[in-house]
Amino acid sequence: MKLNGNYKNLEESYLFSTIAHKVNAYAQAHPQANILRLGIGDVTLPLAPAVIAAMQQAVTEMGKKETFRGYGPEQGYAFLRESIQSYYARRGVSLAADEIFISDGAKSDLGNILDLFDVENTVLIPDPVYPVYVDTNVMAGRRIVFADATAENGFLPMPDEGVKADIVYICSPNNPTGAAYSRGQLAAWVEYARKNGAVILYDAAYECFVCEEGLARSIYEVEGAEECAVEFCSFSKIAGFTGTRCGYTVVPNALAGGALNKMWLRRQTTKFNGVPYIVQRGAAAVFTPEGEKQIAENLAVYRRNAKRLSDCLDGLGIRYTGGKNSPYVWLRCPGFDDSWKFFDFLLEEANVVGTPGCGFGKNGQGYFRLTALGGEDATAEAVERLKKLLGK
Ligand code: MLT
């Protein structure tokens, strides 16, 4: 037996596991500390009442012979795919139901989709970005080139004709920087992909936070994107499903002459058993008028948190991006060049946890990410502690 040697090329542990271990060790050594966790982008508000009611109803159905369900349809139940279809249609994007695949989340699909691509492909990944893109390609042994996202380009790298790539990752609104592409900017990426015969893997997990005009919420708002892009999205951030697990991936029929859609169906039907009926019912309730109203209230809380954090940084004179079309605020570490040193300083001096920017790539060194998905009281308290510690 030979092990996959590519794993030796990975960082020793996944970024958020490293943070959790560090914070747990600190908490054990300081049991009195009231630690405020603005690190991992996990939601804190409970599921919306409409979602709970739909899941309860589904539980009842599962307990009755007449309404019990076993294995579900391979791509997900039609009721959920149709509700996603209409969610897109309301934003002017037309999708066929057989282009939508229900899954247990964007992270798994972003990794699993790589089964469909040859190991010889070159991959273009923004730096900094969500570490899953790099890690999954390192595991497979693919060649990776990076697109620098820096303060100079507003953390929104644009295509460079000198760089040839076959698979291009885009995350917008971006995790971790919060920067979001306009439709015009995305059109340039679509043009690059079509010209080079590349595929774009577009992570739209944070689309629900986009509020400014002109910014894209789906890559399919750009003409021709259906010929070169796969889109990944999730119920985690829009509806608090991080623990409940449900997402979806759009694989257009126009992509690679329909080959990719067929291959993804083949892959998923072989390696994935689908999302529980109860969860899919809950997810479908997200896009009902009642669900949308309740979810908008939750998102408003997270937006208020983001505003609080941004106002605090404004007051302290600390440079940052995000916080407007994203639940993440991305700041320059004040007085520190090393993100992990700033992490330790905040944890020890203010008992506030964030995410070191260098965990998202080399260009993240010296930066730090705070999430607005925490509780309202915890965020307000964190702001007070930041003011006290950094305002000196
Ligand atoms: C993050 O903190 O970057 C996210 O929670 C990661 C994820 O959604 O998997």
CB of 81 shorter than 6 A to ligand 1: no
- 373 Cβ inside 6 Å of ligand 1: no
- 254 CA distance to ligand 1 middle (Å): 30
Distance between CA atoms of 203 and 234, rounded to whole angstroms?
9
Amino acid symbol at 187: A
Half-sphere exposure (Cβ direction) of 60: Cα atoms closer than 13 Å? 6
pLDDT for the residue 166:
98
* DSSP sequence for 364-377: GTTEEEEES-S-HH
Atom of ligand 1 nearest to the CA of 132: 9
Residue 14 has a pLDDT of 87
Closest CA to 222 of 368, 365, 82, 91: 91
Distance of alpha carbon 334 from alpha carbon 370, whole angstroms? 14
- Tell whether pTM > 0.95: yes
The DSSP element (H or E) to which 2 belongs, if any, is: none
User: Where in the chain are the domains?
Assistant: 5-47+291-390, 49-289
- In which residue ranges of the chain is pLDDT below 50? none
Q: Are strands 199-203 and 328-332 parallel, antiparallel or unpaired?
A: unpaired
pLDDT at 184: 98
What does each C-alpha distance from 247 to 32, 233, 274 come to in angstroms?
38, 6, 11
Query: Selecting from 3.40.640.10, 3.40.50.300, 3.90.1150.10, 3.40.50.2300, what CATH number does the domain 5-47+291-390 have?
Result: 3.90.1150.10
Rounded CA separation 370/306 (Å):
9
pLDDT of residue 285: 98
Residue 324 Cβ inside 6 Å of ligand 1? The answer reads: no
DSSP 227: G
User: In whole angstroms, what is the distance from residue 345 CA to residue 335 CA?
Assistant: 11
Residue 13's pLDDT is 80
Nearest atom, ligand 1, residue 242 CA: 8
Contact 82, 102 (CB under 8 A): no
Ligand 1: atom nearest CA of 175 is 3
Q: Is the CB of 41 under 6 A from ligand 1?
A: yes
Q: Do domains 5-47+291-390 and 49-289 have the same CATH topology?
A: no
Phi and psi based region of residue 165 (left: phi greater than 0; alpha: psi -120 to 50; beta: remaining): beta
Of the candidates 172, 154, 157, 151, which has an alpha carbon nearest to the alpha carbon of residue 124?
157
What is the topology classification, in CATH, of domain 49-289? Aspartate Aminotransferase; domain 2 (3.40.640)
Rounded-to-integer distance, Cα 280 and Cα 301, Å: 25
